[in-house]
Structure 1
Amino acid sequence: MPPKRKSTTKSADQPTKKSRASRPRTKKPTNGVVSQSSSLQTNNSANKRALETWFNMYKDEDEDVISPEGANRFFDDLNVSLEGIQPIVISWKLNATSMGYFTKDEWMDGMRNLNVTNNEELKAKIFDMEESLQDERQFKDFYVFVFPFAKTKTQKSMDVEMALALWEIVLKDRYAHVPLFIDFIRKQEPIKVVNKDQWTSFLDFCKVISVDLSNFDPLSSWPVLFDEYVEWRRDNGL
């Protein structure tokens, strides 16, 4: 008898291969990237709304700018004196271009960099802002910032009374030359305005020249104003 052929028909209890379409699909791990991105976008949107709401508390009615009236209310709400250094330091951190004014871009970018969205959060950082000025490089950056920030935009120089007021605020507690130099200008009235070179050079003068003037070289390239200051002090035994 010929051998029996094996049946090619599978019995009902034999497992069959699942088609590709019927296989359950497994999700690829995302490691939280999608959810983190979504959360970041949500936080950025919330921060933007918070910063705009904060800005709108002080801005002018007809313009997207905070002018002196609004700036005064802002600093008052922060409990900082307009006669002190703090408003200037905050303006420096916001990279403001005009004293008493904040544009919306300056506000939004500056507050984002500071990572604050309201007055209370900003208050908590003011001390650290001032402390950063203990670093010489930071202070030089701050000091250079003050001149274009405070002067009238249509003029190249700063009114001498403004310069004297700012030197008293910014430098008086740092260098012994400052009160003497201010006294010299008030009594002698050698200038009516302070130019950029005089402003910048004064910081270098205070750092380099000893208060007794013993290392002052009359042949050095200081602005003439400083030669006159040294001569006035020596003539008056100061």
Structure 2
Amino acid sequence: MEALLWVDTYKKVAVPIVRRSDFFSSSRSFRSWWWWWWWWWWYSFLFFCVSLLIYYYFFSPSSAASKKKSDSITSSTTDLFRSGPSKATSKEMDRIDHLFNQYANTSSNLIDPEGIEELCSNLEVPHTDIRILMLAWKMKAEKQGYFTQEEWRRGLKALRADTLSKLKKALPELEKEVRRQSNFADFYAYAFRYCLTEEKQKSIDIETICQLLDIVMGSTFRAQVDYFVEYLKIQNDYKVINMDQWMGFYRFCNEISFPEMTEYNPELAWPLVLDSFVEWISEKQA
């Protein structure tokens, strides 16, 4: 009786479960459902990956397209800002060249001594004025009494002077610039080199040196210049002055109190011309 009860229970419970299991494992409907689910999952994943790539390439701040667009905007903006100053600089240079042509010799394309004299007249300054020498220093002019177009451009562009009136107004500021301690030593050395008019020339005659000292140092070290010029004119040992002697006098003016000269020590490798100069002053004061 109990055996029959177990068989009956099996038929009611186990058999339907087995049949349902057979349905999932072998039925055509299950296989169809699984195929569609697999493809849906695959296409969803593929869609996600493609979407991610599109976002990264086109919309991400670090994307190549964004960078390209940003670079394009930056480039166009830079070009816009560059074009403005570039055009202004071009016009400024045209005016500087126009001013150069007013004084330049057409055959040599140089502003020669005659042109410089005319320039000085228009600027209302003597041609021996120190500011003209300062202007040559600013241009880095190489040959005394001549300005090339390149030197003219360099100097006037630095002074921001593209007209005669602007150049005239720039001269006082140029003088202040040169007289700064950081610039004056360079200007003083340049004044000597500017007067070397011949190739391989290394010294300048006494007469020219006396004139140059008066122009370059006269307003700053009047007493020292007057005494040194007087000495150079009466002495007979030196016919010319070289760069070392020229720079030695500059050092003398800046380091030695005058007329006491208590700091002067001839053993400190001063040029011999200055040793003689100090001895001459000492004898004169005695």
Give TM-score scaled by structure 2 length.
0.70
Is 1:47 aligned to 2:92, yes or no? Answer: yes
Q: After superposition, where does 1:96-115 map in structure 2 within 5 Å?
A: 96-115=141-160
Q: Which residue type is aligned with residue 101 of structure 1?
A: Y
Q: Distance in 2 between matches of 1:69 and 1:208?
A: 40
Where does residue 64 of structure 1 map in the other structure?
109
SS in 1 for 2:104: coil
Deviation at 1:89, TM superposition (A): 0.9
Where does residue 16 of structure 1 map in the other structure?
none
Where does residue 179 of structure 2 map in the other structure?
134
Deviation at 1:108, TM superposition (A): 1.2
Q: Distance in 1 between matches of 2:138 and 2:90?
A: 23
Q: Which residue type is aligned with residue 206 of structure 2?
A: V
Contact 2:116 2:127 in 1 (8 A): no
Q: After superposition, where does 1:17-36 map in structure 2 within 5 Å?
A: 32-36=77-81
Is 1:168 aligned to 2:221, yes or no? Answer: no
Q: After superposition, where does 1:74-85 map in structure 2 within 5 Å?
A: 74-85=119-130
Q: Structure 1 or 2: larger helix share?
A: 2
Contact 1:152 1:158 in 2 (8 A): no
Q: How many residues align?
A: 213
Deviation at 1:29, TM superposition (A): 5.4
Contact 1:92 1:142 in 2 (8 A): yes
Contact 1:51 1:117 in 2 (8 A): yes
Where does residue 197 of structure 1 map in the other structure?
244
Where does residue 182 of structure 1 map in the other structure?
229
Deviation at 1:68, TM superposition (A): 0.5
Deviation at 1:131, TM superposition (A): 1.4
Give TM-score scaled by structure 1 length.
0.83
**CA deviation profile, 1:68-108 (whole Å, cap 9, x unmatched):** 01111112111111222111111111111122110111011
Contact 2:120 2:127 in 1 (8 A): yes
Q: Distance in 1 between matches of 2:261 and 2:217?
A: 18
SS in 2 for 1:194: strand
SS in 2 for 1:65: coil
Deviation at 1:151, TM superposition (A): 2.1
Q: Considering only aligned residues, what root-mean-square deviation do their CA atoms show, in Å?
A: 2.0
**CA deviation profile, 1:110-169 (whole Å, cap 9, x unmatched):** 211222111111111111111123321111111111111122232111121111101011
Q: Which residue type is aligned with residue 76 of structure 1?
A: S
Query: Comparing 30-39 with 75-84, which one deviates more in the overlay?
Result: 30-39
Runs of 4+ in structure 1 deviating by more than 6 angstroms, as ranges, are none
The structure with the larger Rg is 2
Deviation at 1:235, TM superposition (A): 1.7
Q: Distance in 1 between matches of 2:130 and 2:257?
A: 25
Contact 2:134 2:178 in 1 (8 A): no
Contact 1:86 1:130 in 2 (8 A): yes
**Mind listing any 5+ residue stretches in structure 1 that lack a counterpart?**
1-25
Deviation at 1:67, TM superposition (A): 0.8
Name which structure has the greater RCO, CA cutoff 8 Å, separation 6+: 1
Where does residue 156 of structure 1 map in the other structure?
202
**Mind listing any 5+ residue stretches in structure 2 that lack a counterpart?**
1-68
Contact 1:158 1:195 in 2 (8 A): yes
Deviation at 1:32, TM superposition (A): 4.6
